[in-house]
Amino acid sequence: MTPISEKQEASRSIIVCFHTKWQEAILHRRISVVFRKKGPHSFRPDFLYAYLTRPFSAVIARMSIDEYGTRSVKDALRLVKGGLLTEDELRAYASTPFAPVYSELVVYIVSKIQVARSPISMLTMRERWGYWPSATYTPLADDAKTIVDELGCFE
């Protein structure tokens, strides 16, 4: 089951998974750029919900997306400081062993990071609308976005 069914209205919000090593950077609002290999093509997202993977398995923050689009790896390298990465780390991310080498990355320029008053667990989201984490991103239906905003006390 996915967060958007054919009968539901899609919001302009997505959930993106982060390794737990990013927890402090997100909670202390130090991140301003998020790099991904894939992102939405059919819409421009307005909000990115940060979901920490195991063992945490919860949404911990919401970020406004100021800019969104694909950039060449060369152009993305100019933004590594905002993503709290080195150039070598971003190059390695774009050329993961045993996977295609990416010449372009999806770049989210984010701001207004709101930390959830209480993390929203995967179990809660699964019970409420069937959420399952994606390796890329998960678009949220309007009603799922409302649930996450209420549970996280996002304004």
Q: Is the dihedral of CA 65, 109, 70, 25 positive or negative?
A: negative
Confidence tier at 101 by pLDDT (50, 70, 90): confident
How many C-beta atoms surround the C-beta of residue 102 within 10 A? 19
Taking only the tens place, the pLDDT of each residue in 36-91 is: 999 999 999 999 999 999 989 999 999 999 999 999 999 999 999 999 999 999 99
Give, as one character, the DSSP assignment of residue 102: P
Instruction: Give the domain ranges of the chain.
Output: 10-152
pTM of the model: 0.91
Task: Give CA–CA dist 152/36, Å, rounded.
Answer: 24
Q: How confident is the model at residue 1 (pLDDT cuts 50, 70, 90)?
A: very low
Could you tell me which CATH number the domain at 10-152 has?
2.30.130.30
